[in-house]
Structures are given as C-alpha cells and as structure tokens.
Amino acid sequence: MTSGRQWPPVSTFSIVAYDRATGDLGIAVQSKFLAVGAVVPWARAGVGAVATQAWCDTSHGPRGLDLMAGGASAGEALAAIIGTGEGHERRQVGMVDAHGRAASYTGPDAPAWAGSIVGDGFCCQGNILTGPEVIHAMAKAYRSTTGSFAHRLLAALEAGQAAGGDSRGQQSAAILVVREKGGFLGGNDRYIDLRVDDHPRPIEELRRLVMLHRVYFQTDEADLVVPDEALLATIRRQLIATGDLTDGTDDPAAITAALERFAGRENLESRLRDDGQIDTVILEFLRNAAGEG
C-alpha cells in the first residue's frame, strides 16, 4: 500500500565539488528544511558526490554513486537516474565524479526559482531561491576563494545566503567531504561530516563546527614543533598545574606520557606524534588548562 501524502520539497541550495589538489569530493548545503544533511548529500571517496533535492528521491544518491563506481561519468550517471522512475520533472540533482566532471539537472516543474550552474569540477544548484543571483554568487565565491576545500565550500554557501538564499529562510545546513581513509583514525572515508539540523543561522553555526573539526582532527605541518629544553620546562610546569604530572619529575619520557594523557582527555589523540614533534594545538589547550592562556 502506498501513501498519497505529498511531502514538502527540500527547498535548498547546494554545491557539489571535486578538489583537484587533494582528490577530495564534497557537498555543502543549506535549506529551510529540518536536518537537510540527512537527505541531500551523498559521497564516496574515489567515486563521486551527489546532491539530491527539491522533490528529492533519496535513492538518487546511492544509485548515482553506484553508477559512477561502475565507470559512468557524472553526466552519464545523472542521465540514467533521471531517465527512470516518475516525478523527475520536479526533482533537482547535482553530481561530480572523481575525475572532476560535473553535471546538474533541474526539472521544469521544480519549485521556482530553480536552476543550476556547472563549472570546472563543481556544480551549484538550488530551488525556491530568491533568484538566479544566488547560484551565480556561489559559483563566483567557490572559484575565487583560496584555502582549504571545506573553506571554499563554506564560502560558496555564505555567498549564496548573502545573495538572498532560500526565499523561505534558513533552518539547517551540512557539509560532507570524503577522502580515502579520511575518517577518524582512518576507519572510513568521511573526512568531514558535520550537520546543523535546526538553527536560526545554520551556515554560521556550520562554520563554527568546521573550525572545531580542524582543531580536533586536522594536523598541519606548520603546527608542529620539536621541543627544546625551554619548551619541555614550560610543558612540565603546565602539566603539574593541570595535575597530569604529579611527581614533579623532569624525565622527558614521563613528561611525554603525561602530555599524552592530557591530550587524550581533551580528545586530541589524533594530534599526537611518535616522531619527536609536538602539535602546537595541544600546547595551546595545555596553556589554557594551566591558566596561562
């Protein structure tokens, strides 16, 4: 038995992209819809990324990824899924494959204003927007912004919102970036998977979460130092202040073990090193915990 209920369209603007510098694939999305991150973004490392929206068929995500995994380009996969099933005239889908080929579809009956832009390695699409200026602003921001892939995706969302965004307002936002073994401790490909399910300013909140993600899970070579005697003395003093070094020893091995305990308590395990270097983000946390920040 099927239900005759008509669910509301996922009024959304999104960017789907491939980062040629890293091979990462990602989606960033904002919507006047609860928990858009549970519906729109789909991605698989080394394969592709999909945003399915408007009167969305969530099966388009895994089906599109399976087709691209089988060798189809983004355009071929998109044509295959749009050409099957009912209701495609009201749907909107954007895709990019692991070669940077992008494709986007907006059905003629997708809720207005609706449309898309396809560029080199990305596509921007949206529906129930204030106008075409939204996706044009997104594309311009993505092309012109420097920095990390996640930063460029967020810049596109912010530009789209500044240009008018979803005509019904804001509610939720999400970012999904996949990378081979990019998840926590390399266990999966979900390098960044952050969602703001219900918030008056979801894009601002999403940026805050992305910044926290960088602190907890992303190590930059520029953040690493080799400790000298003066730094070890500072770390020793601060670990005594936090209660992690209780015997007051100046043994480097004991200081290192205490620093590892501190990092574990602060959920900074991914920033620990075994090559004699120390991540300065851990030291910043330690300095604040010791009351010296």
Q: Say what the pLDDT of residue 70 is.
A: 98
In a domain, residue 4? The reply is no
Q: In this structure, are 84 and 35 located in the same domain?
A: yes
Name the H helices within 43-112: 60-69, 74-82
Q: In this structure, are 99 and 126 located in the same domain?
A: yes
Please say whether the beta carbons of 76 and 33 come within 8 A. no
In a domain, residue 32? The reply is yes
In a domain, residue 1? The reply is no
Run of H or E residues at 257 = helix 252-265
Question: 44: closest CA among 217, 193, 157?
Answer: 193
Q: Give yes or no for a cis peptide into 55 (omega within 30° of 0).
A: no
Rounded to whole angstroms, the Cα distance separating 134 from 113 reads: 10
Q: In this structure, are 154 and 21 located in the same domain?
A: yes
Residue found under tokens 């996706």: 135
CATH number at residue 198: 3.60.20.10
Q: In this structure, are 171 and 29 located in the same domain?
A: yes
List the pLDDT tens digit at each of the 293 positions of the chain. 233 445 556 678 999 999 999 999 999 999 999 999 999 999 999 999 999 998 889 999 999 999 999 999 999 999 999 977 678 899 999 999 999 999 999 999 999 999 999 999 999 999 999 999 999 999 999 999 988 899 999 999 999 999 999 888 999 999 999 999 999 888 999 999 999 999 999 999 999 999 889 888 877 777 889 999 999 999 999 999 999 998 778 888 899 999 999 999 998 988 898 999 999 889 989 999 999 97
In a domain, residue 5? The reply is no
Q: In this structure, are 185 and 247 located in the same domain?
A: no
Identify the domain boundary among 191, 217, 243.
Answer: 217
Q: Say what the pLDDT of residue 1 is.
A: 29
**What domain count does the chain have?**
2
Please say whether the beta carbons of 12 and 127 come within 8 A. yes
Q: In this structure, are 20 and 127 located in the same domain?
A: yes
CA distances from 266 to 27, 140, 223, 241, 245 (A): 29, 39, 17, 16, 16
Q: Which domain holds residue 238?
A: 222-289
3-state class of 52 per DSSP?
A: strand
Rounded to whole angstroms, the Cα distance separating 89 from 98 reads: 27
Listed in sequence order, the residues at least 6 apart from 51 whose beta carbon sits closer than 8 Å to its beta carbon are 12, 14, 15, 16, 27, 29, 40, 41, 42, 93, 94, 95, 125
Q: In this structure, are 196 and 55 located in the same domain?
A: yes
Identify the domain boundary among 166, 187, 217.
Answer: 217
DSSP of 26-50 = EEEEEESSTTGGGTSEEEETTTEEE
Q: In this structure, are 38 and 120 located in the same domain?
A: yes
Q: Say what the pLDDT of residue 6 is.
A: 52
Instruction: State which amino acid sits at residue 156.
Output: A
In a domain, residue 6? The reply is no
Q: In this structure, are 67 and 173 located in the same domain?
A: yes
In a domain, residue 2? The reply is no
Q: In this structure, are 29 and 107 located in the same domain?
A: yes
**Residue positions counted in the chain:** 293
97 is written with which tokens? 């494959």
Identify the domain boundary among 200, 217, 234.
Answer: 217
Q: In this structure, are 165 and 126 located in the same domain?
A: yes
In a domain, residue 154? The reply is yes
Q: In this structure, are 199 and 235 located in the same domain?
A: no
In a domain, residue 48? The reply is yes
Q: Say what the pLDDT of residue 8 is.
A: 57
3-state class of 106 per DSSP?
A: strand
